[in-house]
């Protein structure tokens, strides 16, 4: 068995696609209308359609028990872009116990997103001393 990708449900596929494409610079790999897969191999699926696929069982967004994780070299820059677009933050930019700089926020459907500086750059000491 091979794991393929996480899938999150969204209330408005166009709004969410715009959020991931334009704010987070994600590229679409497949667009099936109600289901869009991005090149990073995660998918968004229209909630009303997905609910039909699971026999109309309840879907509860915003549980803070799951996040999509991305890495970006300049966490402060992307956090500023998110602020300018009125994105709701879980927390502002901060350093984790393992010294990685991260920011967490919500997408339009209250799915938690984390953007952290590259673990590779952290491991190899590329971060400027000014932040330390």
What mean pLDDT is reported for the chain?
Answer: 92
pTM: 0.87
Residues 40 and 73 in one domain: no
- Evaluate if residue 127 carries a pLDDT over 70: no
The CATH number for 45's domain is: 3.10.180.10
- Which tokens in the block code for residue 33? 């209308």
Q: Averaged over 74-86, what is the pLDDT?
A: 96
pLDDT tens track for 5-34:
999 999 999 999 999 999 999 999 999 999
Residues 76 and 54 in one domain: no
pLDDT at 57: 96
Residues 26 and 48 in one domain: yes
pLDDT tens track for 35-44:
999 999 999 9
Q: Which long-range contacts link 116-124 to residues 24+ away (Cβ below 8 Å)?
A: 116/69, 116/70, 116/71, 116/72, 116/75, 117/71, 117/72, 117/73, 117/75, 118/71, 118/72, 118/73, 119/71, 121/73, 122/98
- Evaluate if residue 54 carries a pLDDT over 60: yes
Residues 69 and 131 in one domain: yes
Which domain covers residue 91, as residue numbers? 64-132
Residues 40 and 84 in one domain: no
């Amino acid at each position: 068995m091979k794991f393929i990708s996480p899938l999150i449900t969204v209330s408005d596929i166009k709004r969410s696609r715009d959020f991931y494409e334009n704010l987070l610079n994600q590229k679409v790999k497949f667009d099936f209308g109600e289901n869009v897969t991005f090149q990073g191999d995660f998918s968004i699926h229209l909630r009303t359609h997905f609910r039909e696929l699971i026999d109309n069982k309840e879907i509860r967004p915003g549980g803070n028990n799951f996040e999509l994780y991305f890495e970006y070299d300049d966490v402060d820059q992307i956090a500023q872009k998110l602020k300018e677009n009125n994105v709701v933050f879980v927390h502002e930019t901060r350093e984790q116990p393992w010294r990685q700089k991260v920011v967490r926020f919500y997408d339009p459907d209250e799915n938690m997103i984390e953007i952290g500086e590259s673990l590779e750059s952290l491991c190899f000491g590329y971060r400027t001393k000014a932040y330390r």
